[in-house]
């Protein structure tokens, strides 16, 4: 009996057409890449019962369970229910029918480094923030990649995302506690940007050089440096891999609050809706921004948002990347024989 399925509907339901005829794969969303180990059992069950027992861990921190026959989709969807309940609904996602699987797949899983649940460098609970974003943004059909990283080390590779959210901290200085040991200045110079110099036996931070990593806080033996309780973020945007021109994301906003980050990303949805070329299969946001120009993007996504007083906004954006069609530079290379 030949299969007759609506491919677009299937894709929207987080299944995909695979290399093997009649077989699909389901993508399980794990916002922030953090989950109760109990859920691994559900993933395992689906793989064993409906697939071939294999699970692929995706770069975006989801699971892709391959080799599931298309006709099992309904059963798989039913089996996904506990995952939807805890990983999506519990975070505020509204899903009308929990037996129908994922209601969208355009907005990719929101990934996060392990963050301050574990990592000493982490400035925020990245998984929690990813979960919160999931609650606000999912389901959504636009192709947008978002990741949250706990500090400028950027272990989640936020610089390869459409929205890379980098948690930073503002180190605050208690003058009386500083004993002039220079540990902060040394660590900032060796590992970061050299934002701290010593003046009259005290550490002085150059706010323009400081990238908010928090290394100085970690280094200080007297807790003279501590973190401002307001959490700040740097939002780098429109980084991408891909066939046309891969590039690193660049800072759009710096020293903005979580609130601003959330609102900006939400505002992006109507921006995409307005400008996307519907004749293309699925225009990625990065290419839309390339087309509309940064000014339009900035005006529309910042519309109606009150920026916190510390916030800085990029005047212009220029992405370091390269064009994949640059054969002028790529020549055959023959090792000359001696």
Residue among 154 and 162 whose Cβ is closer to other proteins? 154
Any idea which residue has 């339901």 for tokens?
Answer: 13
**Residues 225, 232, 255, 297: which binds ligand SF4 (CB under 6 A)?**
225
Evaluate whether 36 touches 86 at the Cβ level (below 8 Å).
Answer: yes
Nearest CA to 158 out of 245, 249, 243 is that of 249
Q: Does 181 engage in binding with ligand SF4 (CB under 6 A)?
A: yes
Residue among 232 and 287 whose Cβ is closer to ligand SF4? 232
How many residues bind ligand SF4 (CB under 6 A)? The answer is 27
Task: Give me the least distance between CB of 230 and other proteins, in Å please.
Answer: 10
Q: Does 242 engage in binding with ligand SF4 (CB under 6 A)?
A: no
Residue among 90 and 218 whose Cβ is closer to other proteins? 218
Task: Give me the least distance between CB of 202 and ligand SF4, in Å please.
Answer: 7
What is the rounded distance in angstroms from the CA atom of residue 317 to the CA atom of residue 237? 9
Evaluate whether 267 touches 304 at the Cβ level (below 8 Å).
Answer: yes
Instruction: Classify strands 171-173 and 111-112 as parallel, antiparallel or unpaired.
Output: unpaired
Task: Give me the least distance between CB of 124 and other proteins, in Å please.
Answer: 6
Task: Give me the least distance between CB of 203 and other proteins, in Å please.
Answer: 12
**Residues 27, 159, 205, 240: which binds ligand SF4 (CB under 6 A)?**
205
Q: Does 222 engage in binding with ligand SF4 (CB under 6 A)?
A: yes
Any idea which residue has 């921006």 for tokens?
Answer: 271
Any idea which residue has 């759009």 for tokens?
Answer: 252
Q: What are phi and psi of 111, to 5 degrees?
A: -100, 165
**Residues 83, 130, 224, 238: which binds ligand SF4 (CB under 6 A)?**
224
What is the rounded distance in angstroms from the CA atom of residue 89 to the CA atom of residue 95? 7
């Amino acid at each position: 009996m030949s299969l007759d399925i609506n491919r677009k509907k299937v894709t929207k339901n987080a299944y995909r057409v695979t290399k093997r005829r009649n077989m699909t794969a389901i993508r399980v969303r794990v916002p922030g890449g953090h989950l109760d180990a109990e859920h691994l059992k559900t993933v395992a069950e689906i793989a064993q019962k409906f697939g071939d027992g294999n699970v692929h861990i995706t770069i975006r921190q989801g699971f892709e369970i391959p080799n599931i026959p298309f006709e099992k989709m309904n059963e798989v969807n039913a089996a996904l229910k506990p995952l939807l309940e805890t990983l999506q609904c519990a975070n505020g996602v509204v899903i009308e029918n929990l037996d129908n699987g994922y209601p969208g797949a355009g907005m990719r899983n929101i990934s996060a480094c392990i963050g301050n649940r574990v990592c000493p460098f982490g400035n925020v609970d990245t998984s929690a923030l990813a979960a919160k974003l999931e609650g606000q943004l999912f389901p959504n059909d636009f192709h947008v990649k978002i990741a949250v990283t706990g500090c400028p080390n950027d272990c989640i590779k936020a610089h390869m995302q459409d929205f890379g959210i980098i948690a930073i901290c503002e180190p605050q200085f208690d003058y009386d506690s500083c004993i002039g040991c220079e540990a902060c200045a040394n660590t900032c110079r060796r590992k970061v940007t050299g934002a701290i110099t010593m003046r009259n036996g005290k550490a002085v931070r150059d706010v323009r050089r400081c990238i908010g990593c928090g290394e100085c806080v970690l280094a200080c033996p007297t807790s003279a440096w501590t973190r401002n309780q307001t959490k700040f973020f740097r939002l780098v945007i429109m980084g991408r891999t891909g066939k046309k021109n891969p590039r690193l994301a660049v800072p759009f906003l710096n020293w903005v609050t979580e609130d601003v980050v959330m609102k900006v990303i939400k505002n992006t949805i109507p921006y995409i809706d307005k400008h996307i070329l519907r004749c293309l299969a699925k225009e990625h946001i990065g290419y839309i921004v390339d087309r509309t120009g940064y000014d339009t993007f900035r005006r529309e996504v910042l519309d109606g948002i009150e920026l916190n007083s510390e916030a800085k906004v990029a005047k212009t954006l220029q992405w370091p990347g390269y064009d994949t069609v640059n054969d002028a530079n790529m020549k055959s290379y023959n090792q000359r024989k001696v």
